[in-house]
Amino acid sequence: MWRASVLSIFPDMFPGPLGVSLAGKALTAGAWALDVVDIRNFAADKHRTVDDTPAGGGPGMVMKADVLARAIDAAAADARPLLLLSPRGVPLTQNRVEALAGGPGVVLVCGRFEGVDERVIAARGLEEVSVGDYVLSGGEIAAMALIDACVRLLPGVMGAPDSAAEESFTHGLLEYPHYTRPPVFEGRPIPEVLLSGDHAKIAAWRRAEAERLTRERRPDLWAARDRKVTKPAG
């Protein structure tokens, strides 16, 4: 079974949003498993200290390598990828999410304070993963985002099996616009083609809209797609 192990100094934040809706139902149904490890349980003193002042001075505190290493050693005894949520990590993409969802699960280390002692990152081979170019106060919400993105791709979790195939990023395009009843909302009608019943025309319209939105909103994705399309074979 796909398993997420999360190492955090705020274990009570879990399952949080992962306990409701699709992910929550799948968790209750046993489609995936979650264990949360309290990093403080691996501290060596009676105050359960997990952080210390930065070598070289400067603001904030740093998560201690020895405490974190003990927590990791207790949680990560199998072949699952060992990831540290980190703003300086490789940005998470739908491709990576698909690969992670197709594996045995993940072990996720949630940073806090100014960050994590570099030596434990090197010593335990932590792979740094970012959820975007902004700074959160801790890795927990980033871990939840990663887990949620993976869990919805697990077999049987999403209602309609085609949903994932058509979504943003799956084919290097953003998704086309959606509409539902009423046919007119505040003077804005549903595009006529969607009510035509002509499936080929509808598919062509959706494709054109997906391309237009990607060109307008994400020139980076569009350029990457262009490069793939024009790349010579071989």
Ligand X SMILES: C[S@@+](CC[C@H](N)C(=O)[O-])C[C@H]1O[C@@H](n2cnc3c(N)ncnc32)[C@H](O)[C@@H]1O
Kindly report the three-state secondary structure assignment for every residue of 112-124: CCCCECHHHHHHC
Q: Which residue in 95, 129, 91, 90 sits closest to 228, CA to CA? A: 95
Q: How far is the CB of 202 from ligand X (least distance, A)?
A: 38
Q: Which residues within the stretch 142-201 sit at the binding site for ligand X (CB under 6 A)?
A: 142
85 vs 149 by CB, closer to ligand X: 85
CB of 125 to ligand X, least distance (A): 17
> Footprint of ligand X on residues 37-96 (CB under 6 A)?
85-88
| Token duo for residue 57 | 């001075």
| Contact (CB, 8 A) for 92 and 70 | no
Q: Which of 141, 150, 6, 14 is nearest to 83 (CA)?
A: 6
CA distance 189 to 1: 46
Selected binder of ligand X within 57, 59, 137, 192 (CB under 6 A) = 137
CB of 116 to ligand X, least distance (A): 6
Give the closest residue to 116 by CA, choosing from 147, 145, 141, 88: 88
Using CB under 6 A as the binding rule, whether residue 110 contacts ligand X is answered as yes
- Please identify, using beta-carbon distances, which residue of 141 and 221 lies nearer to ligand X: 141
Stretch that binds ligand X, among 113-121, 161-169, 175-183, 195-203 (CB under 6 A): 113-121
Residues that bind ligand X (CB under 6 A): 85-88, 110-112, 114-116, 130-132, 134-139, 142
